[in-house]
Amino acid sequence: MSTVNRETPRPAAGRAGIKKELPDHFKDYRHVWVFIELERGHVHSVSFELLGEGRKLADKLEVQLAGVVLGPPGEAIGNAIAEAFAYGADIVYIVEAPLLADYRNEPYTKAMTDLVATHKPEILLLGATTLGRDLAGSVATTLQTGLTADCTELDVDTDGSLAATRPTFGGSLLCTIYTLNYRPQMATVRPRVMPMPQRADKPVGRVIQHKLSITEDEIVTKVLGFLPDSQSATANLAYADVVVAGGLGLGAAENLQLVKNLARAIGAEYGCSRPLVQKGWVSADRQIGQTGKTIRPKLYIAAGISGAIQHRVGVEGADLIVAINADPNAPIFDFAHLGIVTDAIRFLPALTEAFTRRLSPHNRDKLAS
């Protein structure tokens, strides 16, 4: 009697082993939506950046681009609607109710999930802000769909699936994530990761209103008052035109003063890489990279920073990157526009002195112009 060993066939690796056919009840989900983050009368600029990216996705899919505005009745919501059209939206969905005057997870989640269930978008994008992250997670959980957080690139695959790319394994790799069998496909993107699209004044288009189906009695959280963050304006890295940053190549905490001196000389903001925050040399609001701030300055000077992927994704939108590093094989030289192989500790004082001699206080403000 012979025995035949039969191995159980292994599923194909990667996407080939995943069922691509959408369930029937998801097949009528269409269009790209962008959440327009309106808080205390102001629209967060990441919303406009996402409209620019959403426009590209919608054009590839040959569908409409929609903005979603949630907020209280008043002038602010009208302005948000007008701005959504000015930055490329074809249609705007709104939920307007006094209960949405302050952000609370329950009414905002209810408003968004009801909108999705009624109008069925295939893609939903939100800014990876404090508000956006909180809302995105609860919406995805309620809808039982996939959410890819802190994306650095968005695209549409050949079969129409959203390809959302983000760093993984501590920022050492980039991976592309797909939500193949669920809708909507959700992603968050941090401010300044995507470029700001061109604004164009145009008439307000089609606006679809939806009623909020939740009452105050059903909401657990209550707003007792609002206290603005007194530290919120201490670092404006994300929107600075010129940024100087230091890394482990500085050697010691006191050498960070060399970075600050250069920043002061050229009218720049200063920042750092993640290891300096981990060492306690710099506060977290000055960290640049995937786990810190994403920047898009006209000039970025990196001193003693190796340039790991998690740092790269936070700075590669800069118009000009100047890298100063003693290691000629440092990864930062792979994406810097200008590389200087030297000891940053010796080079920074000389560079600061040169700028100080050349730039008058009047001209420093014009360095990035």
Which residues sit in the known binding site?
273-274, 287-291, 304-311, 325
Contact of 31 with 63, CB cutoff 8 Å: yes
| Residue 26, token pair as written in the block | 């998801």
- What Rg value do the Cα atoms of the chain yield, rounded? 24
In the DSSP assignment, the letter for residue 363 is: H
Q: Please give the order of strands across the beta sheet that includes 242-246.
A: 269-272, 242-246, 299-303, 321-325, 338-341
* Residue 31 Rama label (left phi>0; alpha psi -120 to 50; beta): left
Place of tokens 């010796």: 346
Contact of 52 with 197, CB cutoff 8 Å: yes
Can you tell me the distance from the alpha carbon of 273 to that of 103, in angstroms, rounded to the nearest whole number?
A: 32
Can you tell me the distance from the alpha carbon of 30 to that of 8, in angstroms, rounded to the nearest whole number?
A: 39
* Sequence ranges of the binding site for FAD: 273-274, 287-291, 304-311, 325
Can you tell me the distance from the alpha carbon of 303 to that of 264, in angstroms, rounded to the nearest whole number?
A: 15
In the DSSP assignment, the letter for residue 62 is: T
| Residue 351, token pair as written in the block | 């560079």
